[in-house]
Amino acid sequence: MNGYIIEAYNNMGNAYTCRRLLEEGKKRNMDVKMIGVHDVSVRQEGVFSEGKKLASVDFVINRYKWGKGKDSINALAKKSYNPLKPFCTYINKFQQLQDIESDSFLKPRYILSDGYADYELLNEYLGKRMVAKGLEHSMGREIFLIESKEDLLKLQSYGKEKEWLFEEFIETSYGRDVRVYSIRGEVVGCMKRQSESDFRANVALGAGVTAYETTEEIRWIAKDIYEQTKLDFVGIDLLYGKDCFYFCEINVMPGLEGIEKASGVNVAGKMMDMIYGDFL
């Protein structure tokens, strides 16, 4: 069995998530190679990397969001993880809020607009403090706490064509959230992320992680999201509300370092087991 991990560059095999997937693939006698979108060219004759035409493979693992190059690499595989259509759809945070529902969480109030939005309208609908999110970035990039008109004006530097998702700020979740890792709707690990210096709880921004109990409520959320999105692997971020969780967002290519260290679960192994089982 053979496959590609699609990332930004060919040389990313030492990045934690890629390294773990390569290790677990090797244990299962799977021939897995890194393919960087920025290191390929797409021609009429096929897809080329480092001067060589890429062969067809059994599977690809999508770990890069941008551009059309990833689509051409996906076309070389019998199966894609996550499948390309929901992967591309649910990169977008606005689409997530539009599509994903569950009786086990609430959703924050939101407005889709640009950096020139009417501050008084935002303030009236969302509250004095709100969060502005770029629609497709991850790891805490393009997420800002808006507490004044001056904060809103800073978004105008991105241009009028830039859309922002403005959400009510869930005060009870300041600097903390819960990350759930789900494989086909089954929870394989949970962790609490806590920042001591930032309203965002991203590990990439320095938040600490600890294990978190998998509750029945969390299990239902994972099942609901899988049924609606058909994403094989997904990171689900939940905010602490007063009485129940709020939906924050999902990540279609979640990293493994935090969840494996916090939970002690071999998540990479479970991912590769799932892929392996699809070809038996």
CATH number at residue 156: 3.30.1490.20
pLDDT digits (tens, 9 = 90+) for 116-140: 999 999 999 999 999 999 999 877 7
pLDDT digits (tens, 9 = 90+) for 140-150: 789 999 999 99
Mean pLDDT across the chain:
96
Q: Kindly state whether residues 215 and 100 are assigned to the same domain.
A: yes
Q: Kindly state whether residues 165 and 178 are assigned to the same domain.
A: no
Q: What CATH number does residue 254 fall under?
A: 3.30.470.20
Q: Indicate the pLDDT class of residue 108, thresholds 50, 70 and 90.
A: very high
Long-range contacts of the stretch 240-244 (C-beta < 8 A, 24+): 240/170, 240/172, 240/173, 240/176, 240/177, 240/178, 241/106, 241/170, 241/172, 241/173, 242/172, 244/104, 244/105, 244/106, 244/217
Share of the chain above pLDDT 90, in %: 94
Q: Answer for the pair 238, 211: CB distance below 8 angstroms, yes or no.
A: no
Between 203 and 263, name the one with better pLDDT.
Answer: 263
Q: Which helix (H) or strand (E) holds 151?
A: helix 149-154
Q: Kindly state whether residues 222 and 97 are assigned to the same domain.
A: yes
In angstroms, the CA 143 to CA 275 distance is 33
Q: Kindly state whether residues 98 and 208 are assigned to the same domain.
A: yes
**Lowest-confidence segment of 7-16, 138-147, 157-166, 206-215 by average pLDDT:** 138-147
pLDDT digits (tens, 9 = 90+) for 71-93: 999 999 999 999 999 999 999 99
Can you give the residue range of the structural domain that contains 63?
2-81
Q: Kindly state whether residues 216 and 100 are assigned to the same domain.
A: yes
Tell me whether residue 246 is in a domain.
yes
Q: Kindly state whether residues 190 and 258 are assigned to the same domain.
A: yes
What confidence score (pLDDT) does residue 140 get? 75
What confidence score (pLDDT) does residue 207 get? 83
In angstroms, the CA 223 to CA 225 distance is 6
What confidence score (pLDDT) does residue 137 get? 85
Q: Answer for the pair 54, 74: CB distance below 8 angstroms, yes or no.
A: no
What confidence score (pLDDT) does residue 45 get? 97
Q: Kindly state whether residues 160 and 218 are assigned to the same domain.
A: no
pTM for the model: 0.95
Q: Indicate the pLDDT class of residue 243, thresholds 50, 70 and 90.
A: very high
Q: Answer for the pair 154, 96: CB distance below 8 angstroms, yes or no.
A: no
Q: Provide mean pLDDT across the span 159-163.
A: 96
Q: What CATH number does residue 55 fall under?
A: 3.40.50.20
pLDDT digits (tens, 9 = 90+) for 195-229: 988 898 887 777 899 999 999 999 999 999 999 99
User: Which of residues 169, 196, 219 is at a domain's end?
Assistant: 169
What confidence score (pLDDT) does residue 203 get? 78
Tell me whether residue 87 is in a domain.
no
Q: How many domains does the chain have?
A: 3
